Structure 1
Amino acid sequence: MNISNELLFFFSALGVFNALLISFYFFFVKKSNNNSNFFFGFLLLMLAIRVGKSVFYYFNDDLAQIFIKVGLVACILIGPALYFYIKSTVRQDAKIRFWKLHFLLLATLSISVGVLYPETHDPLVLGKLHWMTIIYTIWIFYIIATGWVIRQTIGKIFKRNEKLSSLDFWVLSVFLGNLIIWIAYKTVSYTSYIVGALSFSFIFYLLFLLIHFRKTKSAIFDKSFKYSNKKIEPAEAESLSEQLNYLLDKEKLFTDANLKLSDVASRMNILPHTLSQLINDNLGKSFTTLINEYRVKEAQHLIESNANIKLEAVGYDCGFNSKSTFYSVFKKVTSTTPAKYKESIS
């Protein structure tokens, strides 16, 4: 392998290596009850396997069929991984159903074709259709379905009075990046097979550089100007408030005694200062006050639903880290103590 090929291999494999690392991060380090983290890690893993197969196949024509077929199994799962990631991100209040069925059926289909046609990775199936054509058709089908999920966000691009939020910017970047990679692979007959891998590396780093720049720019701006100089747009504030309400009311993040504003902001894919501004300007309270109100509300619910429950256990179940804090906050919010509230219920 000469120097030019070594450089080509390095840059084409660079995105694959880093995508693998980040996918493992979302699987094992940042794992949570949030489905979007799982789907994002899975999407990166499938892309890394598919693109990695392309890199090794380009530089080694004698690559064993088993590795090529594994790459095709990953390729057929990229589309559903993208679809369910975007859906779980933009529709946090919606229950993600049947995703396992999608993955299982497509993986089983791809493995079955690989077993039935061991001598080639692109057999003729269903008459005159090549297997690769079917795979890319399935992939673009899920890309189109994803576009339908974010159709309102896409529409903001063409409206002068609409501004993209950080979440809008992120999902559009992931969506368009996936579409570009699909086009790169679909047009290899006119370019080169390695273009798909190079485009993945380029988009991978461009995406994270843009996100980093956007966050850094916002952080610098807000250090120079007060919140009052840059209000959150009403439409964006309403959307963010719905996400916040879902995380607190449905997922009960407040039960974590060590919950921080940055933790909630991370779940919402926004900057901490943006969440702080939302709570202060739009809800008229601090983050601590908001969380304590949810904890007290949950405590009242537990007391009302179980007459024999111990008050100390109620406090810990609701996210308070001590009995004294529970009692003082409960009294501050309700103007009565937990014990007197329990007596009044009885």
Structure 2
Amino acid sequence: MWIELYGYASALCAALIGIMLAVSRRKHPTFKIGSFLFVSISIWLLQLHLFTSGKLIHFPEFIFLHIPFAICTGPLFYLLIQSIFKIEYLWERSQWLHIVFVMILTLFFLPIAWIPTQDKLELFRKNVTVISPFFKSYILFFLSISYIIPGIYIAFSFRFLFNLKILSSAGKEKSIFVFYLILSVFALSKFVTFIGFLSEGFGFLKKVGAFGFSTGVFLIFILLARYPDFLDLLRRGIREIRRQQNRISSDQTVSTLEKIRNLFEVEKIYLDEDLSLKTLAYKLSLRPDQLSQVINDSYGKNFNRFLNNHRIREAIRILKDEPDLKIIHVAMRCGFNSKSSFNESFRRETGITPTEYLKKKSMES
């Protein structure tokens, strides 16, 4: 009985972790992605413990409904690891492909969700005569991919997780050591649970795996409750290690800075609204993370702030020379693709909006 309660409590803790991350004032994508991930884990974990305890039969309408949430854990875990391990992580269009993929699978899952409750109950009792052989295969397919897809995404995450420089630093950096320790608990538990579902003779492994997974959730809950800044510490530690790993030579840094100065001060490349860290890095024959490191170390700001600083300086020059020009036209000439982003960047750099700037200048004159 206590194991069952332990499982339900862990599902509640997973939901609370999701809420804690959702309401966090930190705006980094790590917290939003982590929020969705733990809410999905909460639903999957609750159904897992209902199943292993035999209580799911009392809630037949919930049978199979864990599948889309189990599938979600794969892409969300991958995106979470990306956000933690990348030096500069920005939400890009490519990330939406993972979300769209899950949404498409969820649409195809709907026929299973709409199975009558009585039929779900019979299927839970292993009476498959209530559905056609095709639909039986359809359900088995989704049950399988609820394990396979997370497994594939976990494999995709290996290129980040098994960075030798970061792994070798785990003994020195406590946050990294704890992170890998908890990941190991989850990985082992997931594997044991999967073996339990595949092998009839080892059904007890389902309970063992569920218990281990719940323990991992409790560890994270205690960790975040005790150290709310843990994810920030982890990100900063990993980012610093990757910067040291990817640092270019001092001669190359000097050469790169000269090229950047020429591109920004002479060619005014910042006026191109499509300019990004990737495109500039390609032009300079660097990786985006290397360029980011050069800009951060040399100018004390990230690429976006560096870019917008030049654009706003150009905007101020235009506003002085052509005060009658419409704000939207100034924005477009400086490389901004919308008036709202221009206003926000102008306020961040100067403390006032373009309109307020013009009023101030007219009063001074």
Q: State the TM bucket, normalised to the shorter chain.
A: 0.5 to 0.7
Q: 1:299 aligns with which of 312, 319, 323?
A: 312
Find the residue that maps to 2:79 and give its secondary structure: helix
What TM-score do you get using the length of structure 1 for normalisation?
Answer: 0.57
What TM-score do you get using the length of structure 2 for normalisation?
Answer: 0.55
Partner of 2:35: 41
Partner of 1:145: 153
C-alpha separation between the residues in 2 aligned to 1:131 and 1:231?
45
C-alpha separation between the residues in 1 aligned to 2:78 and 2:242?
28
C-alpha separation between the residues in 1 aligned to 2:48 and 2:346?
52
Equivalent pair of 1:299/1:314 in contact (CA under 8 Å): no
User: Does structure 1 residue 283 correspond to structure 2 residue 313?
Assistant: no
The Cα offsets for residues 222-241 of structure 1, whole Å up to 9 and x where unpaired, read as xxxxxxxx999721778xxx
Partner of 2:347: 317
Equivalent pair of 1:303/1:309 in contact (CA under 8 Å): no
Letter in 1 for 2:63: I
Q: Which moved more, 1:16-25 or 1:302-311?
A: 302-311
Cα–Cα, structure 1 residues 29 and 138, in superposed 2: closer, same or farther, change >3 Å?
same
Partner of 1:180: 188
Sequence identity (%): 12
C-alpha separation between the residues in 2 aligned to 1:137 and 1:314?
44
The Cα offsets for residues 30-53 of structure 1, whole Å up to 9 and x where unpaired, read as 474x44333211111111011112
Partner of 1:107: 106
Cα–Cα, structure 1 residues 322 and 159, in superposed 2: closer, same or farther, change >3 Å?
closer
The Cα offsets for residues 224-262 of structure 1, whole Å up to 9 and x where unpaired, read as xxxxxx999721778xxxxxxxxxx979xxxxxxxxxxx
Cα–Cα, structure 1 residues 146 and 187, in superposed 2: closer, same or farther, change >3 Å?
closer
C-alpha separation between the residues in 2 aligned to 1:180 and 1:170?
15
Find the residue that maps to 1:97 and give its secondary structure: helix
Find the residue that maps to 1:69 and give its secondary structure: coil
Letter in 1 for 2:34: F
The structure with the larger Rg is 2
Q: Which moved more, 1:146-155 or 1:62-71?
A: 146-155
Q: 1:162-241 alignment to 2 at 5 Å?
A: 176-188=184-196, 189=200, 190=202, 191=204, 193-207=206-220, 234-235=244-245
C-alpha separation between the residues in 2 aligned to 1:146 and 1:38?
19
Q: CA deviation at 1:180?
A: 3.1
Letter in 2 for 1:70: L
Cα–Cα, structure 1 residues 294 and 117, in superposed 2: closer, same or farther, change >3 Å?
same
Kindly report the root-mean-square deviation, in angstroms, between the aligned alpha carbons of the 2 structures. 5.0
C-alpha separation between the residues in 2 aligned to 1:14 and 1:205?
9
Partner of 2:81: 86
Cα–Cα, structure 1 residues 321 and 46, in superposed 2: closer, same or farther, change >3 Å?
same
Aligned pairs, how many? 271
Equivalent pair of 2:56/2:63 in contact (CA under 8 Å): no
Unaligned 5+ segments in structure 2 are: 234-239, 249-274, 278-292, 331-342
The Cα offsets for residues 153-195 of structure 1, whole Å up to 9 and x where unpaired, read as 3141797699897896687567545533422322335225443
C-alpha separation between the residues in 2 aligned to 1:64 and 1:231?
49
C-alpha separation between the residues in 2 aligned to 1:204 and 1:319?
42
Equivalent pair of 1:46/1:74 in contact (CA under 8 Å): yes
C-alpha separation between the residues in 1 aligned to 2:174 and 2:115?
46
Q: Choose between structure 1 and 2: higher helix proportion.
A: 2
